[in-house]
Chains A and B, each alone.
Chain A
Amino acid sequence: MAKVIPLETRSMTEARPTSRTSVIDISKLSLTFETTDGPVHALKDIDLAIGKGDFVSFIGPSGCGKTTLLRVIADLERQTAGSITVNGTTPEMARLNRAYGYVFQAPALYPWRTIARNVALPLEIMGLPKSEQDTRVRRNMELVNLQGFEKKFPWQLSGGMQQRASIARALAVEPDLLLMDEPFGALDEIVRDHLNEQLLKLWAKTEKTVVFVTHSIPEAVYLSTKIVVMSPRPGRIHDIVESNLPRGPRPLDIRETPEFLKIAHRVREGLRAGHSYDD
């Protein structure tokens, strides 16, 4: 089974770190948190390239650093070694250029703002004219099927609707890159299926690059063009699985096809092998 990226590929990535089609290039990246109990190796020697238009999932048990890796891409954390470029620049520059939209595990809506005003929040901060804000709010609320809920406050919406509002908020920035940290983790299976399907349609329509953190194998396989299997202590990449499922919208039934199950099997094997039980 292919483990990590072959060395040849690695040196190639280093040779052209700002490849035209590459949105994110990560090379020998490590992140160590200094704690009172000694250093914690959250990420170790991560090598990864994410191409334009890819849908990439990070999957792994808790503590494998998948969220941390996403936060490094978003410049919410800094690596302690190695290098990373986002859109050919540092993550900080990418953040200052508002190159990405970030969807958190929780909706993180501001309770004192209506749904429409929550979606408008990043647009206010970007200083867009009011008319442009209104257009984008309307367009993106329609995209996530929330029209008619503009004047509601977050507590008046179900968890699934709140998370959809937070996706609309991330999309309103109109970034080419969407970073999503277990966005559907707290939702029930039916809502999650539905949102997965919608997300895939949205991705196919807008051709954005999506980086998606999850701990659900079916979700990762269903959504992704590339699945990054991670293992804990220290957090590292165990396997990278390129999906041969068709790009673009996929029917939910695809999850019962042999191709799907084969990929899911390989991911599961990777998770099992990478999981250390010795502690």
Chain B
Amino acid sequence: MTTEAVAAPAKILPDSGFSAWLRLRFLPVAVIVLAIIVFWYVMVAVLNAPFQRQLFATAGQDYGTTDLIVATMDQERPVLPSPHQVVAEIWKTTVETPVTSKRSLVYHGWVTLSSTLVGFVLGTLLGVGLAVLIVHSRTLDKSLMPWVISSQTIPILAIAPMIIVVLNAVGITGLLPKAFISTYLSFFPVTVGVVTGLRSPEIIHLDLMRTYSATPSQVFWKLRLPAAIPFLFTSMKVAIAASLVGAIVGELPTGAVAGLGARLLAGSYYGQTVQIWSALVAAALMAAVLIMIVEAADRRVRARMGVRA
């Protein structure tokens, strides 16, 4: 009997496999998404109700609370479109519209994505380049760093039209001006992160290099750069999101005809809130995917660098 009194060991839940993925990864995300959707629907009812009451009153129609709430979900130009309206709009403009059409969200998304990626690559290169200069020269550290920081205090909305106009004047049009705005926003986190990373080696690791009479470039390639890699990836996650914001902002003041920014602008001209929100959701999804790609690259590099899993 006493042996039975010893309870079976508590069932230890596995931390790999499908059920673990469901429990550890899917469930927490799903709960939050669900909460957001519920909150969204509540806000749809609250925000759209006043206009709906007017509509009912104008039509001289009697209505109950249920009628009111249901009606708020499917207005043509709602203050806040409901999630299913946005999903339907996205479905219509991606799957049901050919990619070549000016109404295709895929087309507009690609326009924004291409300048985001160009801007991100340029921004990362510029950021790393500046960081290398700053770390290797005291003078540049003193002279460059204040400019790097103050560059980010200027509102991007104020400077974006000027960048576009100036570049247009010298004959640079199309993708590059928008990409440069992405660059402008994305180089900063990279510079700051990589400067920290390049300065992160411990004294003892630097002393070791000194005992080998290593040249500054050997110290850079064999010590400083590998030490900065984790910092670089963290910065790149911030930078790619900033690049997307930059690309969208770059499309706003220029009257661009294509891109998610242009969709936002057109939507607001014509009161097409469903179109605005579907562009917003598309931009958010795009940002999430981009960050996931950077994270995947980060994981691969870390695995190769022997970081404990």
Which chain A residues have a beta carbon within 8 Å of chain B's beta carbons?
Answer: 74-76, 95-96, 98, 100-102, 104-106, 108, 110-114, 121-122, 124-126, 153-155, 173
- From B202, B211, B226, B227, residue with most partner A Cβ within 10 Å: B211
Across-interface contacts of B210 in A (CB, < 8 A): 75-76, 95
Bitwise interface map of B from 199 to 242 toward A, beta carbon under 8 Å scored 1, else 0? 00010110111111110001000110011010000000000000
Which residue of the partner chain B has the closest CB to A123? B212
* Cβ-based interface call for B138 (8 A): no
For the residues of B in contact with A, the DSSP-based class is helix
**B121-145 interface mask toward A, CB cutoff 8 Å, 1 = contact, 0 = none?**
0000000000000000000000000
Number of contact residues on B: which range applies?
A: 20 to 34
B25 within 8 Å of A by Cβ? no
The distance from the CB of A166 to the nearest CB of chain B, in whole angstroms, is 9
Task: Give the residue of A75, A125, A154 whose beta carbon is less than 8 angstroms from that of B214.
Answer: A125
Q: Is the CB of B208 within 8 A of A125?
A: no
Query: Do the beta carbons of A106 and B222 come within 8 Å of each other?
Result: no
B223's partner among A76, A104, A110 (CB-CB below 8 A) is A110
Residues of chain B touching chain A, judged by Cβ–Cβ distance below 8 Å, are 202, 204-205, 207-214, 218, 222-223, 226-227, 229, 305-308
> Across the two chains, which residue of chain A brings its CB closest to B207?
A76
Q: A112-B226, A112-B305, A121-B222 are in contact. Are A126 and B212 (CB under 8 A)?
A: yes
Asked whether B306 lies within 8 Å of A153 as measured between CB atoms, the reply is yes
Q: Which residues of B contact A155 (CB under 8 A)?
A: 306, 308
Query: How many Å from the CB of A139 to the closest CB on chain B?
Result: 19
Known: A121-B222, A153-B306. A110 touches B205 (CB 8 A): yes
**B204 to chain A: which residues have CB within 8 Å?**
104-106, 108
**Which of A96, A100, A112, A173 lies at the interface centre, i.e. has the most chain B CB atoms within 10 A of its CB?**
A112
Cβ of B303 to closest chain A Cβ, rounded Å? 11
Contact of A74 among B202, B211, B214, B307 (CB under 8 A): B211
**Cβ-neighbour of B306 out of A96, A111, A124, A126 (below 8 A):** A111
Q: How far is the CA of A121 from the CA of B218 in the complex (A)?
A: 10
Q: 5 tightest CB-CB pairs across the interface, nearest first?
A: A153-B306, A112-B305, A102-B211, A108-B204, A125-B212
In the complex, 30 of the A-B residue pairs with CB atoms within 8 angstroms, ordered by the A residue number, are A76-B207, A76-B210, A76-B211, A95-B211, A98-B213, A101-B211, A102-B208, A104-B204, A104-B208, A105-B204, A106-B204, A108-B205, A108-B207, A108-B208, A110-B222, A110-B223, A111-B305, A112-B226, A112-B227, A112-B229, A112-B307, A113-B306, A121-B212, A121-B222, A122-B212, A125-B214, A125-B222, A154-B306, A155-B306, A173-B212
